[in-house]
Structure 1
Amino acid sequence: MSDGIRRFLIVDDQEDVTLFMMRILSAQGECACTNDPHDAVQLFERQLKNGCPFDAIFMDIVMPGMDGHEAAEALRRIEADYSVPAGSETKLVMISSLSDVRNVSKSFFRGGLADGYLTKPLSAEGVRAELKKLHLMD
């Protein structure tokens, strides 16, 4: 079901990052936020089940309890369980202060979890460039 509204999910345990991302993304569509990756996984599945999936998720890597990589793996399993067609998956952008090769390669090359990677501190230009790259910005 597509109603033309873009939907974004922001998952970060730092409120300043969440507010920053909301400020940028709200100009492009609806935003949902959580600081808990477990809640993000549940919200993602609920939106998918209701026919209103997120267009993109911006996921912090380092969070307590469940890290961003584990949450990303759970999101991709849910898409497989719901038989989301190849090419229609939700875009996933990992966010982290970690720019080391291990985290970048884990996000992209181990299972193709992520579609993008933003390094903190974030910039509005960087976020907009990522949106354009993913064809999610007018």
Structure 2
Amino acid sequence: MKFLVAEDDFASRNFLQLFLRRHGEVDVAVNGAEALDVYKSALQENDPYQYVFMDIMMPEKNGLDAAREIREIERELGVTPANESVIIMVTALSDVKTVFEAFNKSEATDYLVKPITVESLTEKLREMGIVSDE
């Protein structure tokens, strides 16, 4: 399993990286522009990310725009919806408008609200079938 964590906040990035490492390979990016570069490189190497954790508010390119561009790249390459990367938007903004915008503008798969806890991340991974109830 391969994860990309795009997060400008060191503590959140480090937490996600350390936690997700238990379940597969994890690469990180510190802004949306870097996330796109890393994502494209993985595709060129024929080693795509199955899961992308993308912060919404990042410098250089925000997570909504970066996620939307990932979906455009997937469409251009003919990636079927069943084989798309799962994009989980990570946000400190829990209001309904922000979450709705994330799904509409970025075509995100799901979202996770900060502060991220072991419990909330475990539950999200359980929902996605990455970890079992055992």
Provide the rounded CA distance (Å) in 2 between the counterparts of 1:79 and 1:54: 12
Cα offset, 1:84, TM superposition: 0.5
CA contact (8 A) 2:5 2:28 kept: yes
Residue in 2 aligned with 1:115? Answer: 109
1:1-138 correspondence runs (5 A): 6-108=1-103, 110=104, 113-137=107-131
What is the TM-score normalised by the length of structure 1?
0.90
Greater percentage in helix: 2
* Cα deviation, residue 65, structure 1: 2.2
Tell me, in whole angstroms, the C-alpha distance in 1 between the residues paired with 2:99 and 2:25: 28
Report the AA paired with residue 122 of structure 1.
I
- Between the two proteins, the alignment pairs up a number of residues equal to 132
Contact 1:7 1:31 survives alignment (8 Å) = yes
Contact 1:59/1:94 (8 A) holds in 2: yes
Q: Unpaired runs of 5+ in structure 2?
A: none
**AA partner of residue 127 (structure 1):** L
For residues 7 and 13 of structure 1, the distance between their equivalents in structure 2, rounded to whole angstroms, comes to 20
Q: So what's the TM-score if we normalise by structure 2?
A: 0.92
